[in-house]
């Protein structure tokens, strides 16, 4: 007889069928007593159903609310299983939730812990490699091992024994230079096989993690290699504890100005060199193969040290180049590490560039620049409002929600705009966020706390039932707001929602007269 996971793999069931199988296995006796703020439970109590759960019809409303919350919570747990393809960790994660060992909002943390365990379990004794032997709450399950404890022990071990085996591959060619090989190892990844082996040496399990140049398909490797050499580097750096050293891995590609750590996150080249000055002595080739040399006049083309990528002129050239070509990924990296280099004129160019302003991630990063002015915000918000009014969108929320893209683009500016008209427009036109104090509530809170204005509610809600729904919603949000860690934000949101609850309660009673 096939085991459940094997059956699911062979049956090739659709996602909703697979989730229903999990619900049938685990849903009975599942309680939310330890997680009363579960967002699916909140949505169910508000009557926010969807097509996926409208097919089944429980006998009572309470059963429907509970069933909805169970179905979607288990679905979320499955989505957070690092091994979604086979679901090898889903049963354990569901059982830990049923036992009250974590809340829905902690799923990201649990996913990270399971990922780390998956990466290190091959280093553990054979009888400690099964995740089912572990628990997130050893005080409730004393016969099991603590998952947090074994991860902490691994971290302590790595501090004491940081070097570990160094990467080597026949197609990883050492890069010339006068740098100290005992402190820095730099090599060119001349083939896809070498890039794949280098990525695998970081412990990433599949194509969803790590450098794309080392994924199973050579497509990404070939694209980068055609522009210029791909370098790997193992750098001996001081640990954050200030006492130990560790070997840190990077991948460098100068034509695309990508300097990435082992988790494929942008690393600041200035900080890399600061942590290990030996990088200055490496003889890199950073010419862009797709472009002709210009006799050394361009600091972005040539052979030599990493220094031209660290000085102010080189940094400004990079920014100007990337704005002109709409390189959104590079610009986000520059804005994260060098925000003060972006002048007001740069911001104007970016928000007028069709490709850059079309990237929601990039526009969110622009809002954090120190030289951003209200005139920039007014320009962006004006374009967003125009897009909404013209209904330029490929999908809809239904009548009245013409452009969800417009709302998501406006979200980051809701926090910083000094124009109350923008906040009124956003609050009136945006859909209620799933999370209990989302961006719409930020707009309402700013209008009320900063300008003393009560935000307008849609015309269809201006009736007795609407006032009651709003009063109940603000009551729930005020309770949610009391859990915000920041004192200032907690007081601001709590006051706003409590005052709104009183306001709509008053309108509800006045509607009887």
Please give the residue that has the higher pLDDT: either 468 or 127: 468
Q: What is the pLDDT of residue 372?
A: 93
Please give the residue that has the higher pLDDT: either 178 or 389: 178
Q: Is the confidence at residue 296, as pLDDT, over 70?
A: no
3-state secondary structure 121-174: HHHCCHHHCCHHHEECCCCCCCCCEEHHHHHHHHHHHHHHCCCCCCCCCCCEEE
Predicted confidence band of residue 298 (pLDDT cuts 50, 70, 90):
very low
The bridge status of strand 145-146 relative to strand 134-135 is parallel
Q: What is the pLDDT of residue 216?
A: 87
Q: Is the confidence at residue 295, as pLDDT, over 90?
A: no
The full set of domain ranges for the chain reads 4-160, 172-310, 311-372, 374-510
Q: What is the pLDDT of residue 400?
A: 41
Give mean pLDDT, residues 233-240: 86
For residue range 154-210, what is the model confidence (pLDDT) as tens digits?
Answer: 776 565 545 556 788 889 999 888 888 888 999 999 999 999 999 988 877 666 678
Q: Which residues contact 432 (CB under 8 A, 6 or more apart)?
A: 438, 440, 473
Q: What is the pLDDT of residue 502?
A: 94
The owner of tokens 């009736």 is 463
Q: What is the pLDDT of residue 373?
A: 93
Q: What is the pLDDT of residue 377?
A: 93
In terms of residues, how long is the chain?
513
What stretches of 452-486 show up as alpha helix (H) in DSSP? 464-481
Give mean pLDDT, residues 400-421: 77
Least confident of 233-247, 281-295, 353-367: 281-295
Give mean pLDDT, residues 2-25: 60
Q: What is the pLDDT of residue 341?
A: 86
Cα gap 78→462, rounded to integer Å: 40
Q: Is the confidence at residue 334, as pLDDT, over 60?
A: yes
Predicted confidence band of residue 235 (pLDDT cuts 50, 70, 90):
very high
Q: What is the pLDDT of residue 449?
A: 87
Q: What is the pLDDT of residue 187?
A: 93
For residue range 50-66, what is the model confidence (pLDDT) as tens digits?
Answer: 555 555 555 567 777 88
Strand locations in 197-300, DSSP E?
231-238, 245-253, 258-261, 284-285
Q: What is the pLDDT of residue 299?
A: 39
Please give the residue that has the higher pLDDT: either 369 or 13: 369
Cα gap 38→50, rounded to integer Å: 17
Least confident of 189-193, 389-393, 496-500, 509-513: 389-393
Q: Cβ(337)–Cβ(266) under 8 Å?
A: yes
Q: Half-sphere exposure of 103 toward its Cβ, with a 13 Å CA cutoff?
A: 10
Average pLDDT, the chain: 80
Q: Is the confidence at residue 233, as pLDDT, over 90?
A: yes
Give mean pLDDT, residues 1-17: 48
DSSP, collapsed to helix, strand or coil, labels residue 320 as helix
Cα gap 113→152, rounded to integer Å: 11
Would you state the structure tokens that stand for residue 338, as one six-digit string?
Answer: 């060098």
pTM: 0.44
What stretches of 164-209 show up as alpha helix (H) in DSSP? 192-200
Please give the residue that has the higher pLDDT: either 124 or 339: 339
Cα gap 338→241, rounded to integer Å: 26
For residue range 120-148, what is the model confidence (pLDDT) as tens digits?
Answer: 777 677 788 899 999 999 888 988 999 98
Q: What is the pLDDT of residue 7?
A: 39
């Amino acid at each position: 007889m096939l085991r459940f996971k094997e059956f699911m793999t062979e049956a090739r069931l659709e996602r909703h069928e697979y989730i229903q199988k999990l619900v049938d296995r685990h849903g009975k006796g599942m309680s939310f007593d330890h997680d009363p703020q579960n967002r699916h439970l909140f949505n169910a109590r508000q009557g926010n159903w969807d097509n996926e759960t409208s097919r089944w019809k429980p006998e009572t409303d309470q059963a429907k609310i509970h069933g909805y919350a169970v179905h979607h919570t288990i679905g979320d747990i499955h989505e957070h299983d690092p091994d979604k393809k086979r679901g090898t960790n889903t049963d354990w994660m569901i059982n830990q939730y049923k036992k009250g060992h974590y809340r829905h909002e902690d799923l990201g943390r649990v996913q990270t812990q399971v990922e780390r365990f998956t990466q290190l379990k091959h280093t553990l004794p054979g009888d400690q490699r099964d995740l089912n032997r572990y628990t997130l709450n050893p005080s409730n399950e004393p016969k099991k091992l603590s998952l947090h404890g074994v991860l902490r022990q691994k971290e302590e071990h790595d501090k004491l024994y940081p070097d570990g085996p160094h990467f080597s591959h026949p197609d990883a060619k050492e890069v010339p230079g006068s740098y100290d090989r005992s402190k820095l190892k730099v090599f060119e990844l001349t083939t896809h096989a070498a890039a794949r082996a280098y990525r695998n040496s970081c412990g990433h399990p599949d194509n969803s993690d790590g450098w794309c140049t080392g994924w199973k398909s050579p497509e990404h490797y070939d694209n980068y290699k055609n522009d210029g050499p791909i370098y790997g580097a193992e750098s001996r750096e001081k640990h954050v504890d200030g006492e130990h050293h560790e070997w840190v891995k990077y991948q460098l590609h100068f034509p695309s100005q990508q300097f990435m750590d082992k988790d494929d996150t942008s690393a600041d080249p200035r900080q890399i060199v600061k942590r290990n000055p030996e990088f200055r002595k490496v003889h890199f080739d950073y010419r862009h193969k797709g472009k002709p040399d210009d006799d050394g006049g361009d600091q972005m083309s040539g052979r030599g040290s990493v220094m031209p990528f660290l000085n102010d002129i080189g940094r400004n050239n990079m920014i100007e180049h990337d704005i002109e070509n709409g390189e959104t990924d590079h610009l986000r990296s520059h804005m994260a590490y060098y925000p003060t280099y972006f002048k007001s004129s740069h911001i104007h160019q970016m928000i007028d560039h069709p490709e850059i302003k079309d990237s929601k991630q990039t526009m969110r990063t622009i809002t954090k620049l120190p030289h951003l002015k209200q005139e920039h915000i007014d320009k962006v918000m004006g374009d967003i409002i125009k897009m909404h009014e013209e209904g330029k969108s490929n999908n809809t929320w239904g009548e009245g929600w013409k452009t969800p893209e417009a709302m998501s683009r406006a979200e980051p500016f809701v926090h910083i705009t000094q124009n109350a008209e923008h906040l009124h427009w956003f609050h009136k036109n945006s859909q209620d966020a799933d999370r209990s104090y989302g961006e719409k509530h930020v707009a309402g809170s700013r209008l009320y706390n900063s300008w003393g204005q009560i935000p307008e509610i849609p015309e269809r809600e201006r009736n007795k039932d609407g006032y009651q729904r709003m009063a109940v919603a603000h009551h729930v949000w005020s309770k949610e707001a009391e859990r915000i860690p920041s004192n200032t934000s907690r007081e601001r949101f709590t006051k706003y929602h409590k005052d709104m609850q009183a306001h709509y309660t008053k309108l509800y009673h006045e509607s009887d007269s």
